[in-house]
Amino acid sequence: MRRLPLRLRIILALVLLAAGTSAAVSGLTTYYLSQTPQISTNPELSSALEIGLQLGKRDYDTRKSRLLDLGDRWSRDPRMIDAYERADTAELNRIVGSRRLVAHFAEPSQALARSKPAVGRTGGDNAPLRLTVPLLKDGRVIGTLIVDDPLDELLSIERALQTYGHIEMIIDEMRQGLFQSYFAIGAGAMVLALLIGLRIGIGITNPLSTLIRGTRELAQDNLDYRIPSGPPDEIGMLIESFNHMATDLQENRRRRVEAEKVAAWREIARRLAHEIKNPLTPIQLTVQQMRDKYTGKDEAYTRLLNDCTEIVTEEVESLRSLVQEFAEFARMPRLALMPHDLNAAVRDTLKLYPDQQVRLDLDDRAPQLQLDPEGFRRVLINLVENSFDAAGEDSAISIRTRFEDPQVVLDIVDEGPGVASQDRERIFEPYVSGKEGGTGLGLAMVRSIVEEHGGTIAVADGPDGGAQFQIRLPVTQQNTSTEVTS
């Protein structure tokens, strides 16, 4: 059984359940229904009715003979003949007694003009015994009496026996109908259970098969694979959880690859800083010494020597600034996270640019975040300066915050040319810069610091053109200082 597919096991379980339930219900119902007719059609009752009918027939023969004897006496009874001639119905009924006088005829018809009494039943199964009595006077028939003797007891027994036989026939038909009905209901229940099992099995196994296919895709490193949304039930929630897991895996991989890239670039920056920094001082000192040691009188050569010394000194200072940036990128300080107000951090940073035009829209509902004040200050300075550089002179930038539980969103929008769509992801990589003479390390440091805060940064087109840098930072309940090692 365990080797069967899950869908087939569900179908078989439902079919067996329906078949067992139908068999049990039909068996019990048939049993109880069969007991009730047996009470009214038991053999003892049938035998008693048969015996009663036989006794009734014997009584019938006895009563018939007795009526014939009475008919013989009445046909010659002077009282009967006298009452008949006087048409005294009351006297005739008194002589007849418990029997019923049906008719008497003054002039007997040919059919009734008989010289002897006769007994018979006419008018069907419910007819009584009818006695025809010819009244004889002086050897001739002067009239005829018809007397009925009811057979109520015998008729009751006959009707009971007929009803009993009819009941037996109905019960047999009912049993046959019950068996046919239960067979049809049981077959229908099994077919319905088969269809329901098939529907339930498909509803369960198809999403599971899709999940299995999805796990195999993830195992084969296809982290872009997603399963279409399922029904709003537990299976749908499982599919949604799978898609969230795939998204998290993809994001974790992206961050891991990005961290590996950043680590590699930091190592490169560290070596470059070391290799470039060492010869800078000797070069600058040597050039200055050459200028100071020259005591010649050639003014043209003196001017050339002074110009060369200034150029070398400027380039050395530029290289030192570059080395400093390399060193800062290679040696990211540890972040000291503590509860801090993002709006206050924005206002403090903008104090460095009193002459620049900035449109502020800060959401006062934004809660405090776990921030490293110095690290996030570097993020804001870098983004604000990039926005001013992109916007150009006499242009304004916009900075706004808003609370979107469970995140706080920071937007910095400039009025510059924007960032091409194909460069929006690469712009945060080290040594990729859209500015002339830029090192490409600023935005790399920005993303590194934002991600170490648990947030994300992205660039898109601004509402009115230009570039829009958007940072999303999580809202946490942590109020104690925490250190995060880069």
Question: Averaging pLDDT over each range in 69-83, 134-148, 302-316, which range is the top one?
Answer: 302-316
Does the 334-484 domain belong in CATH 3.30.565.10? yes
**pLDDT level of residue 53 (50, 70, 90 thresholds):** low
pLDDT, greater one: 413 or 110? 413
**pLDDT level of residue 262 (50, 70, 90 thresholds):** low
The answer to whether 68 and 116 have CB atoms below 8 angstroms apart is no
Q: Which long-range contacts (CB under 8 A, 24 or more apart) does 44-53 make?
A: 45/164, 46/164, 49/157, 49/160, 49/161, 49/164, 50/161, 52/157, 52/160, 53/154, 53/157, 53/158, 53/161
pLDDT, greater one: 53 or 456? 456
List, in order, residues 6 or more apart from 92 with CB less than 8 Å away: 80, 83, 84, 101, 104, 145
Measured between alpha carbons, how far is residue 314 from residues 300, 317, 320, 439 in Å? 21, 5, 10, 18
Q: Which residue has the tokens 């690859």?
A: 257
Kindly tell me if the per-residue pLDDT of 412 is higher than 90. Answer: yes
Per-residue model confidence as pLDDT tens digits over 96-147: 776 666 556 655 554 445 567 777 766 655 667 677 778 777 777 777 777 7
pLDDT, greater one: 332 or 135? 135
pLDDT, greater one: 16 or 467? 467
Please report the pLDDT score of residue 345 as a whole number. Answer: 92
* Global pTM value: 0.46
All CATH 3.30.565.10 domain ranges in the chain, comma separated: 334-484
**pLDDT level of residue 330 (50, 70, 90 thresholds):** low
The answer to whether 353 and 391 have CB atoms below 8 angstroms apart is no
All CATH 1.10.287 domain ranges in the chain, comma separated: 234-327
How far apart CA 329 and CA 119 sit, in angstroms, is 138
Question: Averaging pLDDT over each range in 95-109, 145-159, 437-451, 465-479, which range is the top one?
Answer: 465-479
- Mean pLDDT (whole number) for 171-187: 74
**pLDDT level of residue 385 (50, 70, 90 thresholds):** confident
Q: Is 113 exposed, middle or buried (0-12, 13-18, 19+ CB in 10 A)?
A: middle
User: If you classify domain 234-327 with CATH, what class do you get?
Assistant: mainly alpha
Please report the pLDDT score of residue 337 as a whole number. Answer: 86
Please report the pLDDT score of residue 473 as a whole number. Answer: 93
Per-residue model confidence as pLDDT tens digits over 264-275: 766 776 776 667
Please report the pLDDT score of residue 13 as a whole number. Answer: 76
Give the rounded percent of residues in the chain with a pLDDT score beyond 90: 9
How far apart CA 38 and CA 56 sit, in angstroms, is 26
User: CB-side exposure of 44: number of CA atoms within 13 Å?
Assistant: 3
Per-residue H/E/C for 80-117: HHHHHHCCCHHHHHHHHCCCEEEEEECCCCCCCCCCCC
